[in-house]
A and B are shown apart, each in its own frame.
Chain A
């Protein structure tokens, strides 16, 4: 039984071979630690075989009814069982490769009360196959082989480019730019050969109030890639002045409810009328958590900043409609 929630890192990516390589190298580097792995069929095992569960991901389509109810019951049980062990794992790596939707996996940890106190989501690491992305861009194709692949990059806290040792410098640069164009918040880590530094990928503390605040205020990478990259992208939405609570709620509801686009992730620091503290919010998929942040300093301008990641989002519309929430 755990005293502190066990950190969980979602390792996602379109190419299961590349995610498997990264997990293997992490396990190798951390071989003396108790690292559990939850992976898809054919996934690599943990260093301790009693800490590996192979699981076919539950279907994460929204066909099961209300999307807010879609959390993965398989993950809930596996993770709960890990944490009930006499010697629970120190870390859990959850592989979400190929078609597996990292958003549903992520919101499972944020929404499911059974896991509260047992496990916490630390971060999302997305692995891309550098040579494949470079070749696609050279051929004038979209950087990502499928919209899900774009989503996997868009929700990441870290994007790891694998296979860099076999890429020429132009391809490597264009693959890295594509990752930044899709997700301006995530640091891009270029992985050469067998080298992987766990410090780059673990202990990110990206979820929770401190992570949300840091994500919302971090400078974004310049969105300079030209041509088709992805329908998924990260947008910074800012508003000067305090927001009306009711109008903000309607704005958030509209963001979640559209059938024509998909909200993947949201991190925000908000100034709301009548509140002397910042309100920090964070969501993945349809989950949304809020916390009270720091108190505004005397004379400090009241501004709100949200980093909104999604598929087919209209950045100009997001900004103008958030502006409509400002109390004039």
Chain B
């Protein structure tokens, strides 16, 4: 990213917590009362909104890669490189989920207690007690991303050469739709109304598919893998972090692009964290250069608000209902940053 510029918003550090290694995942509980944090060293903790430690979970020895709160915030799913995943709650403790392979992604279905786990080339859908609802073993390759679409009816799975739509409740192991892609799928994001699914591939392709038909255009091909995607709350803007680039696409309700994207930044590598505010217009991004930037894409705003963290930003997450966000760094620091 470019160097510091004039701030249009004030950014200030509120508190800092420390994990044992580079922060790999940060997720706020739906009510914003708790922040789950995981590290590549294996730390898995739940912090209060003021940064104090509430729960220290059993470490995941090979590193935590994914965390996900259930819709009501009752359960927290944890998965990592140790080929282990579990569902945790303060009362029940940890319940292991039967998986093979390292866990790349986790996603709870909206408005239900179904959890999807991507483990190696398998996907398993479980209940909070870890009993299996459906499993999809030996897909074409590693499953790097999964999301729920269609209001939680369909599980969308990105793997090598394909993106599959599964209906775990009624369709068994058969994919109800498949979109062919070139190479490995890296990222998936469902639009806020769950009618569109954006997907990024390792070869740089970016596509937006219609949830109902599974069809949609390849919007463009970037020079490197499309690692991160984030929709604005109204579904009109899609932020895309590919290797060396950060763009925002303006899309209509059917996923059709209204012209070329807005280029927000040229980045040193792929951003470690990228997220639109869940209810507002702001977009936050941070990466290897150690700068947190906050834009308001689509507005006639000036340069982004910037904060130098001084080390690689590995992930970030907005605190619901506020203009504050948590960010994790390569040294294991978790910072809460507030916008003035």
Chain A: residues with CB nearer than 8 A to chain B? 1, 41, 49-50, 52-56, 58-59, 63-66, 69-74, 76-78, 81, 84-86, 112-114, 117
Verify A50–B41 contact, CB threshold 8 A: yes
Q: Which residues of A contact B246 (CB under 8 A)?
A: none
Which bucket holds chain B's interface residue count? Answer: 35 or more
Verify B62–A84 contact, CB threshold 8 A: no
Smallest beta-carbon distance A104→chain B, Å: 11
Verify B22–A86 contact, CB threshold 8 A: yes
The CA-CA distance from A64 to B144 in the complex, in Å, is 15
User: Residue on B with the closest CB to A66?
Assistant: B182
Q: A54-B102, A113-B223 are in contact. Are A81 and B81 (CB under 8 A)?
A: yes
Smallest beta-carbon distance A57→chain B, Å: 9
Verify A86–B41 contact, CB threshold 8 A: yes
Q: Which residues of A contact B40 (CB under 8 A)?
A: 81, 84-85
Q: Which residues of A contact B65 (CB under 8 A)?
A: 81
Chain B: residues with CB nearer than 8 A to chain A? 20-22, 24, 40-42, 61-63, 65, 81, 83, 100-102, 104, 120-121, 140-142, 144, 160-161, 180-186, 202-203, 223-225, 227, 243-244, 269-270, 311-312, 314, 330-332
Verify A86–B332 contact, CB threshold 8 A: yes
Number of A-B contacts (CB under 8 A): 118
Verify A113–B330 contact, CB threshold 8 A: no
The CA-CA distance from A77 to B22 in the complex, in Å, is 14
Verify A54–B83 contact, CB threshold 8 A: yes
Verify A53–B102 contact, CB threshold 8 A: yes
Verify B121–A58 contact, CB threshold 8 A: yes
Q: Which residues of B contact A86 (CB under 8 A)?
A: 20-22, 41, 330-332
Partner of B225, one of A49, A50, A56, A114: A114
Verify A81–B202 contact, CB threshold 8 A: no
The CA-CA distance from A49 to B81 in the complex, in Å, is 11
Q: A64-B183, A86-B21, A114-B270 are in contact. Are A53 and B62 (CB under 8 A)?
A: yes
Verify A58–B141 contact, CB threshold 8 A: yes
The CA-CA distance from A124 to B125 in the complex, in Å, is 39
Verify A49–B104 contact, CB threshold 8 A: no
Q: Which residues of B contact A113 (CB under 8 A)?
A: 223-225, 243-244, 269
Verify B81–A73 contact, CB threshold 8 A: no
Smallest beta-carbon distance B2→chain A, Å: 19
Q: A77-B144, A85-B21, A85-B22 are in contact. Are A69 and B332 (CB under 8 A)?
A: no
Partner of B160, one of A50, A73, A76: A73
Verify B182–A65 contact, CB threshold 8 A: yes
Verify A64–B101 contact, CB threshold 8 A: no
